[in-house]
Amino acid sequence: MAQKEITENGITKLIIYTSINCKEYPGGKIQRKKVVQGIAKNSQKANAIERELIREIEREKARREAVGTNWETLLRLYELWARDEESQGRWVQSKQTLFEAIRSLHAWTQDWYKEAASNICASDVTKLFHQMKEKGLSDSSMGKLRGDIRKVYEFGMLFDHIKGIKQSPTTGVTIRSRKRMRTEILRDDEIKKLLSYAKTYEPSWFPIWAFAVYTGCRNGELYALKWSDIDFQERLITVQRSYNKKFREEKCTKTGDWRRVSICEPLWDIVVELKKSHDHDVQRGACKNPGYVLPRPGLWQNGDQARKLRMFCEEIGITPICFHTLRACFATELLKRGVDVPSVMRVGGWKSLKTMMHYVRLSGVSDKGITDPLDYRSEDPSLTNKALLKAVGETFNSEGDEGGAEIIRLMSRRFPTH
């Protein structure tokens, strides 16, 4: 508790400040401040104002201890905790994923800010998803937000910021599952056409697209690729870092692991040409990105690589794809050429077998010829005749009544009497 007099522009003001510890509030403390004029420090009126502020924050503390914090405060507490976890390396998701999740939570749940988190129910979550659907948001976006809301509630219940509930309001709220359609990828002849036309009409993009097709590297991995990552003697590329354009920083790969990719003959020719050009630019002091392998067109620096590739594909008359689909082309073409699945996963940096099986289905190698062993055509024509005669009620057993009994049973099954 404090009272302080200050003078601004010849006017004396009294600042009355009060605070109380409360773990349900950001910073662990509820604070109130009031600025008044014409009241002396420690006067009867000033002390009355101070007591009123104390009662106000005590009521706020009691309310929070009874029902827990409101959604806005809970979200801010979660953000502080999650950012600290991420900085300490204990957060599972990437920094960018966490940043986008926090931004999405603030953007879509502003109507909940003043509501006690314990009072938000499944109907509120459902209403929110209906609003998102009306604004054209995809089912996957709603699914991500549902998961982020659940994490906030799990945090609140773990640290006792929420009172009176034992589960998230997202429990029981269903979202229509996304139907996974077949991904459009380039055929072998379309890849050849893409690289052939790019070499002539898009020389700055040609090596970027070629590296994506021949190595399967992700966009950020290609952007961060340095000459020190290339072993010219063994003809190997070590993929060990990625670039995050949002935070403008280099980090580890998506899986947090490094891998090596062999340089095939057509890619080797491109590497040699790029090295000569790079060394020449360095010697004359004209190299804009010394140490990095690939050129950096403006659209790539701005994050518009997907739009550029799609537009070029449409222009030359092949299947329009986004930049990341080149990685799918890399995987499917290797599988078509007989490379085993574990090797493709290792060289491409995939850890999820579920993702790799999607590429296996795209390549079609696991489907072709599966039904070839099936052949129900009879080699003995008499068997077909016998089956036909039995069906119309004839018998091939003229020596006894077994055949007749068999036919009676068959006929009774086909024409029941009741």
Provide the pLDDT confidence category of residue 417 given band limits of 50, 70 and 90.
low
The most confident of the ranges 45-54, 172-181, 219-228, 246-255 is 219-228
pLDDT tens profile 216-275: 999 999 999 999 999 999 999 999 999 988 788 898 898 889 999 999 999 999 999 999
- Distance, in Å, from the CA atom of 314 to the CA atom of 321, rounded to the nearest integer, reads 9
- What was the pLDDT predicted at 407? 46
In a domain, 163, yes or no: no
Same domain, 331 and 231: yes
Q: What is the DSSP letter of 354?
A: H
Same domain, 112 and 152: yes
Contact 104, 116 (CB under 8 A): no
Structural domain boundaries enclosing 45 = 2-67
Same domain, 78 and 151: yes
- What was the pLDDT predicted at 26? 61
Opening angle at CA 271, ends 265 and 273, nearest 5: 110
Q: What is the DSSP letter of 24?
A: T
Same domain, 142 and 218: no
Residue 362 has pLDDT above 80, yes or no: yes
Same domain, 35 and 133: no
Provide the pLDDT confidence category of residue 395 given band limits of 50, 70 and 90.
very low
Same domain, 61 and 106: no
- What was the pLDDT predicted at 251? 87
- What was the pLDDT predicted at 396? 46
Could you tell me the CATH number of the domain that includes residue 260? 1.10.443.10
Q: How far is CA 164 from the centre of its chain?
A: 33
pLDDT tens profile 58-86: 887 776 665 678 899 899 999 999 999 98
In a domain, 183, yes or no: no
- What was the pLDDT predicted at 81? 93
Residue 10 has pLDDT above 70, yes or no: yes
- What was the pLDDT predicted at 322? 93
Instruction: Look at residues 118, 138, 158 and tell me which one is the last residue of a structural domain.
Output: 158
Same domain, 17 and 83: no
In a domain, 91, yes or no: yes
Phi, psi of 192 (to 5 degrees): -60, -40
pLDDT tens profile 139-161: 889 999 999 999 999 999 998 88
Helices (H) and strands (E) in the chain, counts: 16, 8
> What's the pTM value of the predicted model, to 2 decimals?
0.66
Same domain, 313 and 288: yes
The most confident of the ranges 27-31, 112-116, 344-348 is 344-348
User: H/E/C letters for each residue in 291-343?
Assistant: CECCCCCHHHHCCCHHHHHHHHHHHHCCCCCCCCHHHHHHHHHHHHCCCCHHH
Same domain, 398 and 340: no
Centre a 10 Å sphere on the Cβ of residue 356 and count the other Cβ atoms it contains: 18
Mean of per-residue pLDDT scores for the chain: 85
- What was the pLDDT predicted at 348? 94
- What was the pLDDT predicted at 95? 84
Structural domain total, the chain = 4
In the sheet that holds 230-231, the strands lie side by side as: 230-231, 236-239, 259-262
If you average pLDDT over residues 351-371, what whole number do you get?
A: 83
Separation in Å, CA 114 to CA 60, 72, 119 = 13, 7, 11
If you average pLDDT over residues 331-342, what whole number do you get?
A: 93
If you average pLDDT over residues 159-185, what whole number do you get?
A: 80
Instruction: Look at residues 67, 94, 109 and tell me which one is the last residue of a structural domain.
Output: 67
- What was the pLDDT predicted at 240? 95
Same domain, 214 and 266: yes
In a domain, 393, yes or no: yes
Instruction: Look at residues 67, 91, 118 and tell me which one is the last residue of a structural domain.
Output: 67
Provide the pLDDT confidence category of residue 120 given band limits of 50, 70 and 90.
very high
- Of residues 305 and 370, the one with the higher pLDDT is 305
Locate 99 and state its tokens: 């940043």
- What was the pLDDT predicted at 40? 87
Of 149, 148, 165, the closest CA to residue 157 belongs to 165
Residue 387 has pLDDT above 70, yes or no: no
In a domain, 88, yes or no: yes
Same domain, 357 and 214: yes
- Distance, in Å, from the CA atom of 209 to the CA atom of 216, rounded to the nearest integer, reads 10
Q: What is the DSSP letter of 116?
A: B
Contact 229, 275 (CB under 8 A): no
Same domain, 269 and 294: yes
In a domain, 338, yes or no: yes
pLDDT tens profile 318-332: 999 999 999 999 999
In a domain, 175, yes or no: no
Catalogue the long-range contacts made by 206-209 (C-beta closer than 8 Å, 24 or more residues apart): 207/270, 207/274, 207/294, 207/295, 208/294, 208/295, 208/297, 208/300, 208/305, 209/309, 209/326
In a domain, 105, yes or no: yes
